[in-house]
Each structure stands twice: as structure tokens, then as C-alpha cells.
Chains A and B, each alone.
Chain A
Amino acid sequence: MSLAEDKFLRTEELTLNLGPQHPSTHGVYRAILTLDGEYVKGMENVIGYLHRGMEKLAEARTYTQFIPYPDRLDYASGMLNELGYVQAVEKLMGVEVPERAEYIRIIMAELQRMASHMVMLGSYALDLGGYTPWMYFFRDREKILDLFEMVSGGRMTLNYMRIGGVADDLPPEFLPRLKQFMAEMPASFEEYDNIVTGNEIFIARTKGVGVFKADQALAYGVTGPNLRAAGVDYDLRKAAPYGIYDRFEFDIPVFENGDCFDRFVIRIEEMKQSLRIIEQAIAALPDGPVKAKVPRVIKPPQGEVYHQIEGSKGCLGYYVVSDGSNKPYRLHIHGPSFINVGALPEMCMDLVLQDVIATIASIDFILGEVDR
């Protein structure tokens, strides 16, 4: 019998406002929790604190001018967001991207996926109270950001992709540093395993917590690592290869429990696969131009296109409608974070407050993408 059922003991439900200013809501997410003791009996998502009207802004920018904007969507994975956008426009225009640019894009996209996962894993560990693992993840992410700085001058807001290729060729010091980074990663993976996934307390706190089964995940439209942790083998890189992903050999890690632990480990496994892809891409990197010959003023033909890529958080889609002018008539962004946040209340039901924090962290959403 729970406390609330005891008729001699008068209890009250406590309404608790989690966020938008709270250390572990990862930005300005807000949840209104109804608590019975520390058990969550109701949860309501409140979003919109970071709404910047990104889609409307696109209508007042030329196609090229909009490239830096996707960086600010999911600000932990700028490269991937840009990649999705430029590929959508290229699809609309029918531009052929040079080989070298395609390979560079793959390297950047996979590096960005790793960086994004590191942010997630680090802040996840931090939300469970592990300060040191957080530092370990961010230390390794720093190396990736350094690589990005070499090619684009920026660390998080990169503005590197271009319609028809990439902004610049790789600087000569890039590949040696990248290889050094890749050589260092196996030791780091071991460290992650020792300090987080092998930790008794971490396992006790995440195994069987915030379980989301495959049918529930599919019903909510959850994608990305969260879906694969629930046991659905769906990754756009394999299911509907874009760019040149069909040339690479890699596995899609799939777990089955769909709990917080799986959502953590699957990202580490994905990072290992990303390393494999980068390794192959470096080996096959051809010479040549990094930018296709595209008109100075981009004017796609009238029409519409939907293009989606496997972002770090799930299926990231861009819907572009062109009226033949130099600005998009309408641009819609399908952000995976937005979809994943929607599933949160159901996942958190009947958990204790501490587990809610773990579950929020395990979903890995970025408010820039939720609110757009």
C-alpha cells in the first residue's frame, strides 16, 4: 500500500517545477512534475524558451546565407546539421558533389557524431553525479573541436559545408592530428569503461530505469540511438544511404532493453563504429577539388524536396520548398530532439526524481533543436 492509499494519513501531491533554470535540464527545458513523495505521478513538457524562429528566418535569407544557421539548431552537432541542409538543397538542384568533398564530409560528419555523443555521455555521467567522467569525455571532445577549428576556424558554429562541397580543403596538419586522435581513442574507451560503465553504482542506477520498448518508441516516432537501444535496427546510413555511406563497412549497434544503461552504452559503441568509418574514409580519400561548380547565386528550380540524414540524435530532416527565387519559400526542419522529448513523460512515469534526471539525460536532447 502506498502512502497515498492510507486513509488515516493525509498526503498531498507536490507539484514541482523542474527548470527552465535547473542544472540538469540541459538548457531551458522545463517539466512540471507531480510528485507523490519522490515518485513521479505526472509530467508535463514545457518547451519553447529557446524559440528563435529559425524556419521563418530561412525565408529571409538566401540559400547560402542560411548555412550558418543550422549550426545553432543542435549546437552540439553543427556539422551534421549543415550537412543535412546542404544535401537537401543539392538534391533539389541536382548538384554533383566532387569525390574528395564527399569523403571530407563523411569524416566531418562522423567526427561530429562522436563529439555530440561525448557531450551526451559526459553530461549524462555528470547528471548522475560523476564529475570525473564528464571531464574525460570533454577532454576527448576537445580534440575533435580542435580538428574542426583547423578546417573551419570555428569550434561549435562551424559554417564549413557549402552547397556543392565544403568551404575549404583540409589543411596539411589536419590528417596527422586526426590519426593521432584516432590512435588515442582506444585507451579512452577503456577509461570510459572503467569509470562509468563498469561502475557498480552507475549500473544500479541505470539498468532497468526509464525503459522504453520498441513498440512504444515506434509509436512516438523516436529515432536514432534511442530507438536502436530499444531494439529496432534502423539507421539511415544503412536503411537509406545518403552521400557515399554505401561505400563503407560498419555495423549498426542494436540493443534490446531500451533502458538508460543501453542508451548510454549504445553511444559508446556508435563512436567505435564512427572511428571505423573515418579510418576507411582516410584510406580512400582521393585528390581533387572540394567544391562543385555551382552558380554564384543559388536559385534552385521550382519544387520541393525532403532530405533526411542520420543525425547524432536521430533522423534529421529538411523540407525545402523553392519558388525559383534565391530564397527558400518555406523551410521546415524535422528535429529528432523534438520527437524524443515528446516521449519523455511516458518514460518517466512512476520513477523517482533521481531516475527522471537520469532519463532526461539519457534521451539526449538539445533545446536548440527542440525549439528551433
Chain B
Amino acid sequence: MENLFVNISGALRGWFAGIGLPPMAVEAVMALVYLVAILAFVLLNVVYLVYLERKISAYMQQRLGPNRVGPRGLFQTLLDVLKLFGKEDIIPNAADRWVFRLAAILVMVPAIMAFAVVPFGQGMIAVDLNIGIFYFVAVSSTATIAFLMAGWGSNNKWALLGGMRTVAQMVSYELPMVLSLLGVVMLAGSLNMSDIMAAQKTVWFVVLQPVAFLIYLVASTAELNRQPFDLPEGEQELTAGPFTEYSGMRYALFFLAEYTNMIAVSAIAATLFLGGPQGPWLPSWLWFVIKVYVMILIYMWFRWTFPRIRIDHLMAFNWKFLVPLSLANVLITGIGLEIYKWYQVIRW
């Protein structure tokens, strides 16, 4: 069980080589296989995350949630997506057509790209970059542009306000998030995902870096635009923020991107703070999924508990509290590392 997916990939690779493809072509085809595998994993999870979210919110609110389509409503979101496919695709006359169209696609791209460096299990990273975390941070921050494009391209005042809020929020919260990751990187001494995983063999970084973990949790919630930081969408204020004018599949893409991002952010949290796919008894990929889902459940728990924060509080909280705190965390981690080094020297 442990090497199930690794073996499948190895077999495929052998088969491609066996039918006489040159090594370069094998690599290219394997990249495609990884992409398809990631897409399948992500989209399947996203569809059922929507279902899970609806069920969880229902239990929190003493309702039943979806329960009509299929056993226990299991096909609800699947059919919702199908329905969205069939919906009329409306582009407002006043919209900037190309920006409007492109935004819906661009929002999905970085969300999927981030998965390239996610270790789904032992030896299950699609591309084991030596700057893994850096890549993740760089790719995920480009999503901001898509939101701004959607807000601007719709040529709608609500959408514009939402787009502006998104940019302000995502750019600001990028900082504490990156700085919190820095603490982990300092401990591991590497930006490579496998190295970071290996560094957590004995103790998870959530124990060594509890403050960084909390900062990451808060900042990533803001990055995801989820409650209590869902100002960009802020249904009660901005109807749907940047997505106000979107309908049909384009709207669904934004919706899917939100959940895809949630999986990505949870996966990074699981890798960097919760020891990645390591754990006893169960196969590593199963451990990874469990940890990711624990993180996702925390995000959902946030969403259904807190009201929405106000925009000026949001900014003040970030710049006056989170950023200084994460800087202090980096400083203290550095001092701690030095002390640890001396301690090692003295002991020898």
C-alpha cells in the first residue's frame, strides 16, 4: 500500500520507455501524467469539499444540509457543477471582454500550479524543486492579479470595490504568511519540500514554531478570502465582490479556485508544520490526506463561527500586529538556533 502510487508511476514510466520513447519525451509525458493526476485529485476533492462544507455548516447550524440528490445528498455538488456548465454564459456589454474572460481562467492557474511542489506522500512530489516554498509563495501570490482583473473587467462598482479590497488584503497578508514560513525554513535550513519533511522526522515544526503556525493560520485564511476575512466577496456588502457579474462556468471557476486554494494552503501547512506525509501504521499518502483535511476542517470551523471583520481593522491587525509578531518570531528563531549551536558545541 505504502508505495502504491509510486509504483504506478514507475510502471508507467517503464512502459513509456519500453515503447521506444526517447528520455526527453518520457519526461514530458510523465509531467502530463502528474498534471492529470493532480487535477483529478484536486477537482474530486474540491467537489466533495463543497459538499463537506455544506454538511458541516448544516450540523453547526442544526440543519440537515443537502440530502435529496443521491444517498445523503452525495451527488448534490456534482450536479451543481454540471448545472453550472449548462448555464448561459453572460458577459455584460460594458465589461472589458478580454480581461473579463481571462480573469476566470487566470484565477484557476496559480491554484493548480501550486500543487506541483506539494508532497502527496513519500516520494510523491511532482516536481521536487530546491526552492519549493519560494515557488509556492511566488505562484500563489499571482492569484491577486486575477481578482483585480475580474473586479476591473466587470465594469461594475461593486466588483471594483471588491477587487480593490482583494488586492489590499492579499498583498498585505502575503507578508506575515511568508515571514511565518521563514521560521520553518530557518529550522530546516532548506527551501526544498523533501528536506523540510525530513527535518521533521523527530518533532513536528508546529511544536517548535507554534507562533509561526498560528500566524500562518490567520494569514492564510486571509489569503483564501474566507471568513472572517471574506471582505472581497462580502455578500452582504458587495453582493459577490469581483464575481458579481460572472455566471455559469466562469463563476464556477472562481468558486472552484477558492476551494483549490484551500487544499493547497492546507497541504502546505501540513507539510511545513504537521510533518508532511509522515506517520505510523498508515501509508504516507493517507496520512497526508488526513492532515490536509484536519487543516481544512479548521478553516471551515473558522468560517462558520466568526462574523466578518472590518476593512480598517483588517489592515490594522495585519500591519500593527501580525507583521511585527512574525518578525519577532523570525528574530527569536534565529537567536534560538544560535543558542542551540553553542549548546551542541559545549556538549561535545
Q: Which residue of B lies closest to A200 (CB)?
A: B306
| Interface check B31, CB cutoff 8 A | no
| Interface check A167, CB cutoff 8 A | no
Q: Which residue of A lies closest to B230 (CB)?
A: A129
* A353-B305 Cα distance, complex, nearest whole Å: 23
B63, A16: Cβ atoms closer than 8 Å: no
A131, B61: Cβ atoms closer than 8 Å: yes
* A14-B304 Cα distance, complex, nearest whole Å: 33
Across the interface, B228 reaches (CB within 8 A) one of A14, A17, A132, A201, namely A201
Q: Which residue of A lies closest to B231 (CB)?
A: A354
Rounded to whole Å, the gap between the CB of A357 and the closest CB of chain B is 5
List which B217-250 residues lie within 8 A (CB) of chain A: 227-228, 230-231, 234-237, 239
Using Cβ atoms and an 8 Å threshold, which residues of chain B touch A16?
157-158
Query: Given A38-B161, A205-B309, A354-B310, A131–B62 Cβ distance below 8 Å?
Result: no
| Interface check A45, CB cutoff 8 A | no
Using Cβ atoms and an 8 Å threshold, which residues of chain A touch B63?
135
| Interface check B142, CB cutoff 8 A | no
Rounded to whole Å, the gap between the CB of B177 and the closest CB of chain A is 20
Main SS class of interface, B: loop
List which A1-38 residues lie within 8 A (CB) of chain B: 14, 16-17, 22-24, 38
* A22-B237 Cα distance, complex, nearest whole Å: 8
A127, B236: Cβ atoms closer than 8 Å: yes
B234, A205: Cβ atoms closer than 8 Å: no
Using Cβ atoms and an 8 Å threshold, which residues of chain A touch B237?
24, 353-354, 357
Query: Given A199-B307, A205-B310, A132–B161 Cβ distance below 8 Å?
Result: no
* A126-B161 Cα distance, complex, nearest whole Å: 20
Interface centre among B57, B61, B311, B312 (most CB of A within 10 A): B61
| Interface check B313, CB cutoff 8 A | yes
Provide the A237-269 mask, 1 if CB < 8 A to any CB of B, else 0. Answer: 000000000000000000000000000000000
| Interface check B105, CB cutoff 8 A | no
Query: Given A131-B61, A135-B61, A135-B62, A201–B308 Cβ distance below 8 Å?
Result: yes
B311, A38: Cβ atoms closer than 8 Å: yes
* A22-B158 Cα distance, complex, nearest whole Å: 11
Provide the A38-64 mask, 1 if CB < 8 A to any CB of B, else 0. Answer: 100000000000000000000000000
A352, B308: Cβ atoms closer than 8 Å: no
Using Cβ atoms and an 8 Å threshold, which residues of chain B touch A129?
227-228, 230, 234-236, 306-308
* A24-B161 Cα distance, complex, nearest whole Å: 17
Q: Which residue of A lies closest to B228 (CB)?
A: A201
| Interface check A297, CB cutoff 8 A | no
| Interface check A98, CB cutoff 8 A | no
| Interface check A355, CB cutoff 8 A | yes
| Interface check B60, CB cutoff 8 A | yes
B236, A24: Cβ atoms closer than 8 Å: yes
* A205-B231 Cα distance, complex, nearest whole Å: 13
* A128-B231 Cα distance, complex, nearest whole Å: 10
| Interface check A195, CB cutoff 8 A | yes
Rounded to whole Å, the gap between the CB of B191 and the closest CB of chain A is 35
Using Cβ atoms and an 8 Å threshold, which residues of chain A touch B304?
131-132
Rounded to whole Å, the gap between the CB of B235 and the closest CB of chain A is 6
Using Cβ atoms and an 8 Å threshold, which residues of chain A touch B312?
352
| Interface check A174, CB cutoff 8 A | no
| Interface check A319, CB cutoff 8 A | no
Rounded to whole Å, the gap between the CB of B27 and the closest CB of chain A is 47
* A357-B230 Cα distance, complex, nearest whole Å: 15
Using Cβ atoms and an 8 Å threshold, which residues of chain B touch A17?
157
Query: Given A126-B236, A129-B228, A201–B161 Cβ distance below 8 Å?
Result: no
Q: How many residues of A contact B (CB 8 A)?
A: 31
| Interface check A83, CB cutoff 8 A | no
* A136-B63 Cα distance, complex, nearest whole Å: 10
A22, B239: Cβ atoms closer than 8 Å: yes
A201, B307: Cβ atoms closer than 8 Å: yes
Across the interface, B61 reaches (CB within 8 A) one of A127, A132, A201, namely A132
Interface centre among B230, B231, B237 (most CB of A within 10 A): B237
| Interface check A187, CB cutoff 8 A | no
List which A109-139 residues lie within 8 A (CB) of chain B: 125-133, 135-136, 139
| Interface check A202, CB cutoff 8 A | yes
| Interface check A219, CB cutoff 8 A | no
B307, A128: Cβ atoms closer than 8 Å: yes
* A125-B237 Cα distance, complex, nearest whole Å: 13
* A354-B315 Cα distance, complex, nearest whole Å: 14
Using Cβ atoms and an 8 Å threshold, which residues of chain A touch B239?
22-23
Across the interface, B308 reaches (CB within 8 A) one of A128, A133, A353, namely A128
Across the interface, A199 reaches (CB within 8 A) one of B161, B235, B306, B311, namely B306
A353, B306: Cβ atoms closer than 8 Å: no
Using Cβ atoms and an 8 Å threshold, which residues of chain A touch B231?
354
* A195-B61 Cα distance, complex, nearest whole Å: 12
Rounded to whole Å, the gap between the CB of A355 and the closest CB of chain B is 7
List which B291-348 residues lie within 8 A (CB) of chain A: 304-313
Q: Which residue of A lies closest to B235 (CB)?
A: A23
* A353-B234 Cα distance, complex, nearest whole Å: 11
* A135-B305 Cα distance, complex, nearest whole Å: 12
* A357-B62 Cα distance, complex, nearest whole Å: 27
Using Cβ atoms and an 8 Å threshold, which residues of chain B touch A357?
236-237
Using Cβ atoms and an 8 Å threshold, which residues of chain A touch B236?
23-24, 126-129, 357
A131, B309: Cβ atoms closer than 8 Å: no
* A14-B161 Cα distance, complex, nearest whole Å: 10
Using Cβ atoms and an 8 Å threshold, which residues of chain A touch B62?
135-136, 139
* A16-B159 Cα distance, complex, nearest whole Å: 12
Inter-chain pairs besides A131-B61, A205-B307, 14 sampled, C-beta below 8 Å: A23-B236, A24-B237, A125-B307, A129-B228, A129-B234, A130-B308, A135-B62, A136-B61, A195-B305, A196-B307, A199-B306, A204-B310, A205-B309, A354-B311
Q: List 15 A-B contacts (CB under 8 A).
A: A22-B239, A23-B235, A129-B228, A129-B308, A131-B57, A131-B304, A133-B307, A135-B61, A136-B61, A199-B306, A199-B307, A205-B307, A352-B312, A355-B310, A357-B236
Question: Interface on A for B, CB 8 Å cutoff?
Answer: 14, 16-17, 22-24, 38, 125-133, 135-136, 139, 195-196, 199, 201-202, 204-205, 352-355, 357
Across chains A and B, which 9 residue pairs bring their CB atoms closest together, nearest first? A129-B308, A135-B61, A130-B307, A24-B236, A128-B307, A129-B307, A127-B236, A132-B304, A357-B237
